[in-house]
Chains A and B, each alone.
Chain A
Amino acid sequence: MIKQLGFVLDPNRCLGCGACVQACQINHPSSPLAWRAIRTVEEQGPEGRRRFYLSTACNHCANPECMRVCPQGAYSKRRDGIVVHSAAKCTGCKSCVAACPFGAPRLNPLTGKAAKCQLCYERVDQGQAPHCVRACPTRALQLQEIQSLALDRLVRLTAPLPGLKLTNPSVYYKDPRMVRTEQK
């Protein structure tokens, strides 16, 4: 592997508007499942309140568990780090569905095979951004080369730690700010 592409989200710019999810669905009509989803995180602290949105899809892990467990060898990792699933090789055994700590691959009910975010690799090959990144109205969601990032300023909020250690997901978040509210 020469490099690792991954999603970087700035939760301080993400409005939770869902443009990324819609763009993904509109441009991948073959799957009735959404490959990208938005989770809302809300916390109240003594200083104020924090509400942010995590737009997540396949994390294109450095050590993809889906690829390790797939008995058919349907998963491959490209030289740019994108984890690609081959529907042609997939038999729908669901090993990957059970193994992924992030729930990324899911069974497409129309085909009976697994499906997930392929990071729009055909677009990436042509130098274009994936549909989700292209759609983000605030540019909160970006595709970046992970090794070149200053990781000390980024946090990982995707899943419980064992999953992170196991697979090393290629996704990072900037630290979400606390909004100061008045003490009542």
Chain B
Amino acid sequence: MSEKHQHICPRNCYDTCSLISTTVDGRLVSVEGNPAHDYTRGRVCPKIMNDVAKVYSPARIRYPMRQKHRFQGDWERIGWEEALTMIAGTVLALKEKYGSTLPLALNKYSGNFGFLHNAMEWLFTGIGPTTRAVGSPCWSAGVEAQAFDFGRFVCSDPLEMAQARLIWLWGVNPAWTAVHQMPIIFEAMDRGAKVVCFDTYFSATAARSHRFVQVRPGTDGLLALAMGKVLVEENLVDPELENYSLGLPEFTSYLKSEIDLTQAAALTGVGAETIRELALSYGQTHPACIWAGFGLQRYVNGGQTLRAIDALGALAGHIGERGGGVNYGHFETWNVPGFPPPEGQPPDRLLDMNRFAEEALACGEPPLKMLWLAGRNPLSQDADLELWRKLVGQLELVIVSDLFLTKSAEAADLFLPVTTHYEHWDLNAGYWHYWVGVNEPAISPLGEAKSDLEIAWDLARRLNELEPGSCAFPGRGSEKETVFSLMTPDMLTLLGLNKPEDILAGPVRARLPAVAWSERKFATPSGRFEFFSDRAAAAGLPALPVYIPALNPPGEAPLRLLTPHHASSINSQSYLDEAKDYYELHVNPKVLQEYEFRENEEAEIYNDSGRLPVKLRVDPTIPEGLAIIYPQDSGSGHPGLNVLLKSRGTDMGKLATGAPGLALNETFVNLRKPLSKGA
């Protein structure tokens, strides 16, 4: 018998697609895009086309397992009761020994962005004050920059981009990472819009644009300020701006006195005449839309870069304009209730997600003793991997709940198999478009896999069996009812629904204005667009958007390493049929000459954190000081890309997201022959 079910792709991705699956006799056979969703438009990306194979992959773990010795791979299958008893026993023993539940830590993020995956947080809150990872490895600096400027980070409905007459795709590569935005951009082109792509190398999106502007890494803020100066000099500043902004005189005087076009051209690599020409077209074309990507802000000056781009948009009067704006993302549809801590429960101990191992090792009394990783793979994706190894050494129990044996699972004592979004209920929202939708189970869980929520209930029950009252989170419930419980009156109003059950009818677009800040009333303390931000100043940052240089490569590691997302993977979630056992390093042909390498030759990149074998590829569009790896999953025997990564923070992020972002793009390496084959 054939059946259809609705799903939402739960990946950390702009598109957050609405999907429709087909099952035949209880088996998933195909997944298609939902035609009723105006962003997904009935199509899926190539990643999702592999979903059926992923669900039934022989590599997927279907039963709870215990590893007798960490990193040895000597896994043995165990039963859920044994696994739960082991975890509950450790929780209670640690609580007894330390007189506190703070030795228990949860590190969870975006492996599955469904709201029911917050269940692990609810469980930990039910156990007591615990240690948590806060912040985001992704977008923190930009979120905070937009919070300073606009009061909140909000983007217009992405469909509005079709109305633009000029589109600037700045440090964003939707041809690979948001394919559903591309038809909207093409629609604007069909209507005569010009599309300019700003990036450090000629990306797949640059190839589909009218014009490509190559910017030196970390200088995008300076480029925006230089164009702002041209707008001021050419009298192209929005005449109304004075009425809805704060600090415009201070900002224009900064531009006049501190920004020099010739110097900006030298630093950004964009010619002074080009800067002028771009600024004029941006100032004279309405509507003009900027989409600022996440890569831009993964520098030590990343927040300032976003503030400079916001300021450029404001100067030209594009903020609040239909088909305009400076668009980065939003969290307007993410306000769902958590599990409230029992009254009087002391606060959790919060650790910066990007420096988790370092901060965990530095924890005073009580030390960290148990770690649960859910929806995260930090031993692949985090910085400071040596510190992670050290941290693992001090832990009494490491639990990983996941679909596959990830790099992090290699460090685990217990592996708990979880369900995919074809096997459980969930509620999902996007951070780019404005849709919210329910995710239905289409098939029974594979093997003994359980959803995060079921695992949370089961463990809560086991804890209370062993020690009554030890966990305030309930021991049972219904996934579907839990979805309804997230449909609060506020959420119902936002979605224009009458009752929680109405969400079952299909995904709903939130009833938010399609154009961000169209009233030009902002959520800042002044209610205005803030060129001058007291809150930034209070946080020890410049009050104005100013140019602060990114890092320069040190002499011993002259190549900046960028790791933009590949079309076939999201972080360590790969959608390739087979993992490669090597990384490809893309460099300018001149770099090969300089280092006396040939294309396709094996080499090694290294810095003071680690070394990584690579195969060399050439790309003449990559500047000479740059090396690019598109991070794809590497086989388990491989050291992993992040051996090269240090946990350097971005300038902003703490106020808006709880911790600074990760300045990933400030990673520098050198190149040499592989040691094993070299001298």
Determine the distance from Cα of A18 to Cα of B179 in the docked complex, in whole angstroms: 12
- Is B202 in the interface zone, CB < 8 Å from A? yes
A179 touching B207 in the complex, CB below 8 Å, given contacts A13-B186, A26-B49, A137-B179: yes
Determine the distance from Cα of A12 to Cα of B186 in the docked complex, in whole angstroms: 9
Chain A CB within 10 A, most for which of B204, B207, B212? B207
Determine the distance from Cα of A138 to Cα of B213 in the docked complex, in whole angstroms: 24
With CB as the reference atom, state the residue of chain B lying closest to A181: B212
**With contacts A15-B182, A177-B210 known, what are 19 further pairs, Cβ within 8 A?**
A13-B183, A13-B186, A17-B179, A17-B567, A18-B46, A19-B49, A22-B46, A22-B50, A26-B49, A26-B52, A51-B207, A52-B207, A135-B43, A137-B43, A137-B179, A138-B182, A138-B186, A182-B212, A182-B213
Interfacial chain A residues near B202, Cβ < 8 Å: 49, 51, 179, 181
Q: A15–B209 contact, CB under 8 A?
A: no
Number of residues of chain B lying within 8 A (CB) of chain A: 31
- Is A109 in the interface zone, CB < 8 Å from B? no
Q: In chain B between 152 and 201, which residues have their CB closer than 8 angstroms to a CB of chain A? A: 175-176, 179-180, 182-183, 186
Determine the distance from Cα of A88 to Cα of B591 in the docked complex, in whole angstroms: 55
Q: In chain A between 5 and 33, which residues have their CB closer than 8 angstroms to a CB of chain B? A: 12-13, 15-19, 22-23, 26
Determine the distance from Cα of A181 to Cα of B214 in the docked complex, in whole angstroms: 8
Interfacial chain B residues near A182, Cβ < 8 Å: 212-214, 270-271, 274
Chain A proximity of B217: nearest CB distance (Å): 16
- Is A89 in the interface zone, CB < 8 Å from B? no
Determine the distance from Cα of A48 to Cα of B44 in the docked complex, in whole angstroms: 32
- Is B211 in the interface zone, CB < 8 Å from A? yes
20 A-B pairs in the complex with CB atoms less than 8 angstroms apart: A15-B175, A15-B204, A16-B175, A16-B204, A17-B46, A17-B175, A17-B567, A18-B567, A19-B43, A19-B49, A22-B50, A23-B49, A48-B212, A52-B207, A136-B43, A137-B179, A138-B179, A138-B186, A179-B211, A179-B212
Q: A17–B209 contact, CB under 8 A?
A: no
Q: In chain B between 397 and 431, which residues have their CB closer than 8 angstroms to a CB of chain A? A: none
- Is B45 in the interface zone, CB < 8 Å from A? yes
Which B residues lie at the A interface, using CB under 8 A?
43-46, 49-50, 52, 175-176, 179-180, 182-183, 186, 202, 204, 206-214, 270-271, 274, 567, 620-621
Interfacial chain A residues near B212, Cβ < 8 Å: 48-49, 179-182
- Is A139 in the interface zone, CB < 8 Å from B? yes
Interfacial chain B residues near A22, Cβ < 8 Å: 46, 49-50
Determine the distance from Cα of A26 to Cα of B620 in the docked complex, in whole angstroms: 35
Interfacial chain A residues near B211, Cβ < 8 Å: 48, 179-181
Chain B proximity of A57: nearest CB distance (Å): 17
Partner of A44, one of B44, B207, B620: B620
Interfacial chain A residues near B186, Cβ < 8 Å: 12-13, 138
* A-B pair number, CB within 8 angstroms: 81
Interfacial chain B residues near A52, Cβ < 8 Å: 207
Partner of B44, one of A12, A13, A51, A137: A137
Determine the distance from Cα of A23 to Cα of B183 in the docked complex, in whole angstroms: 19
Chain B proximity of A46: nearest CB distance (Å): 15
Determine the distance from Cα of A50 to Cα of B621 in the docked complex, in whole angstroms: 12
Determine the distance from Cα of A180 to Cα of B277 in the docked complex, in whole angstroms: 14
Q: B45–A137 contact, CB under 8 A?
A: yes
Determine the distance from Cα of A17 to Cα of B271 in the docked complex, in whole angstroms: 33
Determine the distance from Cα of A182 to Cα of B186 in the docked complex, in whole angstroms: 23
Determine the distance from Cα of A90 to Cα of B206 in the docked complex, in whole angstroms: 46
With CB as the reference atom, state the residue of chain A lying closest to B15: A137
**Per-position 1/0 for A162-184, Cβ under 8 A of B:** 00000000000000010111100
Partner of A15, one of B44, B208, B621: B208
Interfacial chain B residues near A49, Cβ < 8 Å: 202, 207, 212, 621
Determine the distance from Cα of A153 to Cα of B271 in the docked complex, in whole angstroms: 35
With CB as the reference atom, state the residue of chain B lying closest to A12: B208
Determine the distance from Cα of A180 to Cα of B196 in the docked complex, in whole angstroms: 9
Chain B proximity of A161: nearest CB distance (Å): 26
Interfacial chain B residues near A51, Cβ < 8 Å: 202, 207
9 closest A-B pairs by beta carbon, nearest first, are A51-B207, A137-B43, A180-B211, A15-B175, A19-B46, A137-B179, A22-B49, A181-B212, A18-B46
Q: A15–B179 contact, CB under 8 A?
A: yes
With CB as the reference atom, state the residue of chain B lying closest to A180: B211
Determine the distance from Cα of A91 to Cα of B501 in the docked complex, in whole angstroms: 60
Interfacial chain A residues near B50, Cβ < 8 Å: 22
Interfacial chain A residues near B175, Cβ < 8 Å: 15-17
Q: In chain A between 122 and 179, which residues have their CB closer than 8 angstroms to a CB of chain B? A: 135-139, 177, 179
Interfacial chain A residues near B176, Cβ < 8 Å: 15, 17
Determine the distance from Cα of A17 to Cα of B52 in the docked complex, in whole angstroms: 19
Q: B179–A179 contact, CB under 8 A?
A: no
Q: A137–B183 contact, CB under 8 A?
A: yes
Determine the distance from Cα of A78 to Cα of B270 in the docked complex, in whole angstroms: 56
Chain B proximity of A62: nearest CB distance (Å): 30
Interfacial chain B residues near A15, Cβ < 8 Å: 175-176, 179, 182, 204, 208
Chain B proximity of A129: nearest CB distance (Å): 11
Chain B proximity of A135: nearest CB distance (Å): 7
Interfacial chain A residues near B621, Cβ < 8 Å: 49
Determine the distance from Cα of A25 to Cα of B186 in the docked complex, in whole angstroms: 27
**Per-position 1/0 for A84-105, Cβ under 8 A of B:** 0000000000000000000000
Determine the distance from Cα of A17 to Cα of B175 in the docked complex, in whole angstroms: 8
Chain A proximity of B569: nearest CB distance (Å): 13
Q: B43–A179 contact, CB under 8 A?
A: no
With CB as the reference atom, state the residue of chain A lying closest to B48: A19
